[in-house]
Amino acid sequence: MTVLRLTLRSLRAEVARMVMSTVAVVLGVAFVAGTLIFVDGMRAGAYDRAGTFDRHTDAGIYAEREPIDPTLVDRVRALDGVRAAEGELTDTAGVVGSDGRPVLGFGVLAAVPTDPALQSYDVVTGRLPVRTGEVVLDRRTVDDQSFRLGGTVRVGGAAGAARPYTLVGVVDVADTPRDIGGPFVGLVGADALAVTGWSGYGRIMVAAEPGITETELAARLADVAGAGTTVRTRAEILDAAVADAVRDVDQFHLVLLTFAAVAVVVAAFVIGNTFTIVLAQRTRRTALLRLVGATRGQVFRAAVLESAVVGLAASALGVLVGTGLAAALTALVSRLDMPLRGELTVTGGTVLGCLVAGTALTVAAACVPAWQGTRVAPVAALTDAAVQVTRPAGRVRLAGGAVVLAAGTAALAGAASAGQIMLVALGGVLSFLGIVLFGPVLVPALVRVLGSPLRRILGVTGALAVANAVRNPRRVAATATALVIGIGLVTSFLVGAQSTKVAIERTVDAEIGVDFLVTGIGVDLPAGLTGALAARPELGVVHESRTRTVDDVEYRTVHPALVGDRIEQVVAGQLDRLAPGRILVDRELAQRRGWSAGDRVTLRSQPFEVAAVVDGLAAGGTGSAVPPGHAVGLVDTDHRRLFPDERGFQAEIDPAQGVPDGTARAAIAAVLVDYPTVNLLDQAAYKRMLTSTVDMLLAFVVALLGLAVVIALVGVANTLSLSVVERTRENAVLRAVGLTGGRMRAMLAVEAVLTALVGAVLGVALGTGVTAGAMALLARLAGEFTLVVPWARLAGVLAVALLAALSASVLPARRALARPVVEALADQ
């Protein structure tokens, strides 16, 4: 009870000093709690959505690699005990809107069962299709396009141009796996096969006759299913649906928790530093307790119990804030029509886990300063020298930190030559640990260097600010290090994103030498599209990029008018000899096969002549199924002859000689009206499309890491506030000898700015170093990557950190000036 009373009295006395550390815990726990609650809701929604379209399915036959032959559906339907059987597939399709333009968004096409025994769609109006030529659409698409039942809707897919279908019904697929933002298209099985170009179904859905168990049904299906298929019972179907639905949620969960962990680590630095300062300021009080009989263990337990109470209270508040955050995210996701969504779900396990984690974090961060605070002898603690705990870091720590920092720098520098991505990660971790360990020397040295101009500009005020900032090296190092984590990660992503975008743009400039590109929306180009484009007289070059890998050789289409800009060197032969019946061969493959320019060779039973041996036809290597330099280039007609079913992912188009770009674009657009699953882009738009994903990812990451930076800046304000309390009499003396209120504010502002600036500079250096190692490695593997530093954005990061530090100095300055000078001089 003595320890408890001591703890409660300390808390009442120090409540104001614990506010900022409490904020750090609240923010960290709120991030974790918000993530867990939000994801719990998404997971619950995923479970609810799983099996939406299998409400009447008792068993199924699933294709493993090749589609299921449609004739198997009839054989299954004829089995004893089978009430109904339907083939199903899901793929991508597009809808031509009422204005003649493709409906935006990634469209999902599904084969809808015609037998009522298997139908699980919620029909809003009309009915489901029962014969060829009929279609159902989702409610959002119908409303947006003002389609009417009985009207004509044009639907297109990979098999070719859009075809007209009669709209017979509207279905509700909202919040289901088939609602991913674009239109939903439901056709009978035969039409679905025709639109997608599939040769068979992805699965066969089966309903059982009454009295037949799903196990019995599955056994009978296994007898006729044949090789290359898997039979699943209803329970197995639902389990697989749940696994698919939850997999994306779990991956998203892992990403969010990673950023939450960063925030928690930063909060731990802030909390540990706070307790170090607070307990140091209680040194005299602790000494008096020891002199009147309190044991060292009692004092330590009181400090730990105090941290537990603070941690528990802050964690409870963090859970409440996190719940509000999760509710806001859930509402936002529901409005954005994202495929991952759910309802607010707060579980007892999440609440308890967050309370335990937040309390444990606070206690763990406070244990070391609590233990160190009890090591001072009671009599020594009563002297003025004991009030300012400026114990330098140990030599072992500093020596180890220097070695670790050097090892991390060496790992980053050597990652490219070693070709190991793990060296980049190891170098980053070691460099950060080196900064932590060597910080008590490194950070004060940087404060002096960066503060030197301010000393000359501000005179005594600047000199006092620098001296105050470095008087406790361990404290300023811990405060700055908290910023290093967040700003280092932000910098790493900023530099990495900019470098990646530049690499993408360079690749486009090197490989795309045409004015226009036509790309598929999530699918390959539809059959017949390039033929329709090539038939337009306004267009000159129309090249469909297609590749097929067979026996470690990549067969790719090349166009005589474009290939000259894409290869690195002609080793032998002449590029202008490329024509039907003649091929280009990469040097490595030619050496392996013993081919030379002019040789007659056989490819897939077809004779060809080697027009030229070249370098750089296809990169291959890392991430590719083809060894470097093992590629063959063929003109479109030859490639189509060898691989008639192969589709391309994009078409490159140039206007015909003398045709203006605007006329060529209009000609392309006129053809694409019949192909709603493709996009028309020029080079600039193509670059924007490729880099937009990088920008979205960067915004997402920086927003999440922003909380870690905020917590670190809270630490700056906390340290400064507690330092002001610690220097009450010292500040009073300065005011007594003539330091004005404005100069006092300036002194504290400079102190805060220098601390934040050093942390930000170290963070920028660490993040840039890690990204430089990664880019050097990628440049060695892929060739187009190079380090590009976004100086303006990094300057913005530094500016935000400095402005926040200035703001953090306002309240401490107000507190320093609030007490009368005489009263402050008498402070004990």
Q: So what's the pLDDT on residue 70?
A: 93
pLDDT at 726: 67
What average pLDDT does the segment 138-163 reach? 93
Q: What is the pLDDT of residue 621?
A: 45
More confident residue, 395 or 660: 660
Do the Cβ atoms of 482 and 269 come closer than 8 Å? yes
Query: pLDDT for 601-644, tens place per residue?
Result: 999 889 999 999 998 786 554 445 677 778 899 999 999 899 98
Helix (H, G, I), strand (E, B), or coil: what is residue 516? Answer: strand
Higher pLDDT among residues 725 and 192, named by residue: 192
Instruction: Give the Cα separation of 253 and 35 in Å (integer).
Output: 7
User: 357 has which bridge partners?
Assistant: none
- Does the pTM surpass 0.95? The reply is no
- Residue in this structure with the two tokens 């070709």, named with its chain if needed: 419
In 675-819, which residue ranges form alpha helices assigned H by DSSP? 683-726, 728-736, 741-782, 791-808, 810-818
Measured from the Cβ of residue 114, the count of other Cβ atoms closer than 10 Å reads: 16
Smallest Cα–Cα separation from 620: which of 567, 562, 552?
Answer: 552
pLDDT at 681 over 60: yes
pLDDT, one tens digit per residue, over 346-404 is 888 889 988 988 888 888 877 877 676 566 556 555 554 444 445 566 778 888 888 98
Question: Which residues are registered as beta bridge partners of 187?
Answer: 111, 135
- Relative orientation angle of helices 19-49 and 348-373, to the nearest 10 degrees: 150
What rounded mean pLDDT belongs to the chain?
83
Q: What percent of the chain has pLDDT over 70?
A: 86
The confidence score (pLDDT) of residue 293 equals 63
How large is the C-alpha radius of gyration of the chain? 34
Are 118 and 133 in contact by the 8 Å Cβ rule? The answer is no
Secondary structure class of 395 (helix, strand, coil): helix
Alpha helices in 419-573 (DSSP H): 421-458, 460-470, 473-511, 529-534
Estimate the share of the chain in helix, then strand, then coil, as percent rounded to the nearest 5: 60, 15, 25
pLDDT, tens digit, 9 for 90 and up, residues 292-325: 666 767 777 777 787 788 888 888 998 998 888 8
Overall average pLDDT of the 464-477 stretch: 84
Average pLDDT over residues 550-568: 85
- Neighbouring C-alpha atoms within 13 Å toward the C-beta of 728: 17
Do the Cβ atoms of 526 and 97 come closer than 8 Å? no
More confident residue, 285 or 97: 97
Task: Indicate whether 229 pLDDT > 50.
Answer: yes
State which of 14-23, 87-96, 317-326 shows the largest mean pLDDT: 87-96
Structure tokens at 828: 């004990």
Residue with the two structure tokens 């289901």: 176
pLDDT value of position 623:
47
pLDDT for the residue numbered 89? 94
Q: 265-269, 589-593, 723-727 — which one is most confidently predicted on average?
A: 589-593
117: pLDDT strictly greater than 80: yes
pLDDT at 171 > cutoff 90: yes
Quick one: which of 714, 725, 715 has its CA closest to 17?
725
Residue whose C-alpha is closest to residue 443's, from 273, 639, 599, 689? 273
Residue with the bigger pLDDT between 241 and 497: it is: 497
Closest to 751 (Cα-Cα) out of 794, 722, 777, 778: 722
Weakest-pLDDT range from 106-115, 327-336, 563-572: 327-336
Does 708 have pLDDT greater than 90?
no
Residue 134 has pLDDT above 90, yes or no: yes
The mean pLDDT value for 40-59 works out to: 78
> pLDDT tens digits for 195-217?
998 999 999 999 999 988 888 99
Phi, psi (5° rounding) for residue 555? Answer: -95, 115
Task: Identify the weakest region by mean pLDDT among 120-124, 503-507, 796-800.
Answer: 503-507
Structure tokens belonging to residue 307: 């941290």
Mean pLDDT for 170-178 is: 85
Instruction: Give the model's pLDDT for residue 385.
Output: 45
Return the pLDDT at 1.
Answer: 45
Q: Is the pLDDT of residue 780 over 80?
A: no
Report d(CA 196, CA 211) in Å as an integer. 37
**What's the gap between Cα 47 and its chain centre?**
24
Query: What are the DSSP calls for 568-630, one per residue?
Result: SEEEEE-GGG--TTEEEEEHHHHHHHT--TT-EEEETTEEEEEEEEEE-S---STT-SS-TT-
Top mean-pLDDT range of 16-20, 497-501, 577-581: 577-581
Residue 76: pLDDT over 90 = yes
Token output for 393: 């870091």
C-alpha 601/C-alpha 593 separation (Å) is 10
Cα 377 to Cα 287: distance, rounded to the nearest angstrom: 7
Residue 633: name the closest of 685, 587, 681, 699 by CA: 587
pLDDT at 3: 47
DSSP assignment of 289-334 equals: HHHTT--HHHHHHHHHHHHHHHHHHHHHHHHHHHHHHHHHHHHHHH
The answer on pLDDT for 16 being more than 90 is: no
Dig out the tokens for 200 from the structure.
Answer: 């068979």
Contact present, 347 and 40 (Cβ < 8 Å): yes
Name the region of 332 (left: φ>0; alpha: ψ -120 to 50; beta: rest).
alpha
Contact 263, 29 (CB under 8 A): no
Q: What is the mean pLDDT of residues 86-104?
A: 91
Confidence at residue 17, expressed as pLDDT on a 0 to 100 scale? 56
> What pLDDT, in 10s, does the model give residues 736-769?
877 788 888 888 888 888 988 998 999 999 989 8
Residue type at 443 in one-letter notation = V
